[in-house]
Chains A and B, each alone.
Chain A
Amino acid sequence: MNWQIHLPALALAVPLLGAFVSPVAGLGGRLTRNAWMVLVSMATTAICILLWQRVVAGGTVVYVMGAEAWNITLPSGLSWPIRIILEVDAFSAFMVVVGSIAALAGAFFSLRFMDKFTGLEKFSALFFLLVTGMLGMQLTGDLFNFFVFLEIASVASFGLIAFWRDRPEAVEASFKYMVVSTISAMFVLIAVGFFYGRYNAVNIAAVARMLHMGYAEKIALVFIVVSLAMKCGAVPMHMWTPDAYAEAPAGVTCLLVAVSQASLYGLFRVCFSLYGASLGSTVVPWTIIVMGVLSMFIGVTMAVIQKEMKRLMAYHSVSQIGYILMALGVGLLSLKDPQAMADYGFTAMKGGIFHIINYTMYKGLLFLTAGAVFYSAGTRNLNELGGLARVMPLTTFMFAIAAAAIAGLPPFNGFVSKLLIYQSTFAVYPLLAVAALVTSVLTLASFVKVFQTAFLGPAKKTFEKVTEVPASMLLGMSVLTIVIVALTLFPGWTLSHLVEPAAKALVDQAGYISAVMGGGL
């Protein structure tokens, strides 16, 4: 039997095993625990890349959990699936690759960064639970399972954000995130309940085939869209983001960036694959676009006035999420009009999906560099920092690359995705492109401030003894730097092999439904 048919299940089983074995591995000391963390992270990334290769080569992969045969989605002539089905199309595969790379970088970085903490076996267990939750959200074809994985990711996040438990700010940030996250998760659960009550099914493909727009479906859509927009940090529900991102250990923040993309994935999976053309009016697409514009502008203007490095970067996360929301909102807007989709909609979707990978990589790297600065200099306050480029040249170099990429400076990868977004959104409404351009300028201004105040300037006596961070932390940052440079140098390959298949899969609602409802592959 070809073991690769089990890749979707392995992508969840390996990090889950990693989580449960972590406390045992911790008994063997620091070396064993670190080796286990590296091994599981690398294995998860390899599995996700193999899964992506399999999907690109052979089309959508389905995997039926607990059934006699892994590919029989409708056994015994049933009208709809009753088992848990993992459905991996090119969009899901793209997302798991992005997420697993961020997790790998975060794991490498955390090996030494977390040295001063105790209870590290609990840290690695929570870390892998978060990875499992994130990948599960992206791989499942089932709405209730999506909720379950969302909760797994949320609960692991609460623990990880508060892991620095001697800091009251960390516990407070975790508590605030827990309150708002739990309430939004309940809204998602209620929405799933609406579908189950109406259609007696929770499989996305099955519900999508039967879906008729009524009041229940509209309310469910609103609950899911707003809840997941909150989870990915969209304005006006973004306020947990600076608290949580700033207080979590840097390796975790890098992973949280990828987890926020899993929520974004869920939002667009529901809009495109579950509702699709049934969305009817343009209210939801425009709501998403408006949320995107507000996130871009409010996020970046709040970032400009921040004096704490990670909070500043967290507000930029809000801003970057805005680009993705706006682009994919434009794609959703043109979903029912083939001409609009051909003219600008598909370009916007390519820009948005390209921005997902770009954002995850450079934002993850920026948080890691902020962590490196804190590790070496002992502060994240930009008023106190300065002259670090002399003593931390490698961190400075990688920060400069990430900062240039997020600011959309040519020739970096951020420019390419932003260019696609500018041009396509201009065709819908020119002010959208203007908002995106202004945001980009303010992003550049903001990171010039960070670069100038933290890294440039004369050497400060306070930081005389500061040295470059340990090799494992540099390795974590290097993983993301290499990906950014690769995306910069090969944007054509990235678009044709990674982004376009993902965008096509997302708009192909019929293909998503038939992979399950057609009886399997």
Chain B
Amino acid sequence: MWGKVYSGFGYWDVYFWLLFFVIAAGMILFIRALGRSDYKEGTEQDEIFYGSNEVPEDGADMGVPAASAYWGFVEALRPYYDWLVELHTGIASDYVGYFVLTVAAVAVLVLL
């Protein structure tokens, strides 16, 4: 009762989802238990595979920086982003301008 929500179009029950996650976790643990038991911690089996290169000592030399995340997405939308970033000038008078323009535009729509 406390976990069920009727939306008028269907329903959502959080406890069914929790049950699903419990079952999924059980299956994952079961599959994991089927793995090799002769795995040895602290040996070469433990080493990171870094594209056959030597693993850098400092983690800062590995990984993808945030600036590179979703590069393809941003490049695909480059014209949109160029326009959008250009709007965000950071100038206070522009902020006021957008506010006043919005007031004017909505006023015209409402008064007409």
Contact = CB atoms under 8 A, between A and B. Distances in A.
Interface stretch (B2-10, B23-31, B39-47): B2-10
Nearest to A301: B84
A226 B99 contact: yes
A376 interface: no
A458 B65 contact: no
A222 B107 contact: yes
A416 B5 contact: yes
A411 B95 contact: no
Nearest to B60: A460
A485 to B, nearest CB: 11
Given A226-B99, A237-B99, A423-B9, A287 B59 contact: no
Interface residues of B, number: 51
Interface string B26-64: 000000000000000000000000000000011110111
A301 B70 CA distance: 11
In terms of DSSP, what is the predominant structure of the interface of chain B? helix
B107 A219 contact: yes
Interface stretch (A194-202, A330-338, A382-390): A382-390
Interface string B88-103: 1010101110111111
A346 B6 CA distance: 12
Interface in A444-462: 445, 449-450, 452-453, 457-462
Nearest to B58: A461
A163 to B, nearest CB: 19
Contacts of B5: 416, 419-420, 491-492, 495
Contact of A183 (B18, B66, B67, B96): B96
B84 to A, nearest CB: 6
B91 to A, nearest CB: 8
B8 A179 contact: no
A461 B56 CA distance: 11
B4 to A, nearest CB: 5
A343 interface: yes
A287 to B, nearest CB: 5
Nearest to B10: A423
A445 B17 CA distance: 22
Contacts of A229: 102
Nearest to B9: A423
B103 A222 contact: yes
A262 to B, nearest CB: 19
B55 to A, nearest CB: 9
A183 B110 CA distance: 21
Given A410-B17, A491-B3, A460 B84 contact: no
A449 B2 contact: no
B8 A423 contact: yes
Interface in A328-378: 343-344, 346-347
Given A386-B60, A453-B65, A453-B66, A492 B92 contact: no
B7 A226 contact: no
Contact of B7 (A302, A347, A445, A453): A347
In this complex, the member of B81, B94, B96 whose beta carbon has the largest number of chain A beta carbons within 10 angstroms is: B96
B46 to A, nearest CB: 14
What range describes how many residues of A lie at the interface?
Answer: 35 or more
B61 to A, nearest CB: 9
A36 to B, nearest CB: 36
A376 B75 CA distance: 34
Given A283-B109, A424-B8, A307 B62 contact: no
Contacts of B73: 304, 445
Contacts of A236: 87, 98, 101-102
A144 interface: no
Nearest to A412: B14
Contacts of A346: 8
A235 B14 CA distance: 33
B14 A491 contact: yes
A279 B107 CA distance: 14
A383 B10 CA distance: 43
Contacts of A176: 90, 92, 95
B66 A383 contact: yes
A218 B111 contact: yes
A419 B12 CA distance: 9
A304 B106 contact: no
A458 B59 contact: yes
B39 to A, nearest CB: 21
Given A226-B106, A423-B9, 14 more contacts: A184-B99, A218-B111, A284-B110, A301-B80, A383-B65, A386-B59, A386-B60, A458-B63, A461-B60, A489-B2, A491-B14, A492-B2, A492-B5, A493-B2
6 contacts: A187-B103, A225-B106, A449-B66, A457-B59, A461-B58, A492-B2
Interface of A: 175-176, 179-180, 183-184, 187, 215, 218-219, 221-223, 225-227, 229-230, 236-237, 239-240, 243, 281, 283-284, 287, 298, 301-302, 304-305, 307, 343-344, 346-347, 382-383, 385-387, 410-411, 415-416, 419-420, 423-424, 427, 445, 449-450, 452-453, 457-462, 488-493, 495
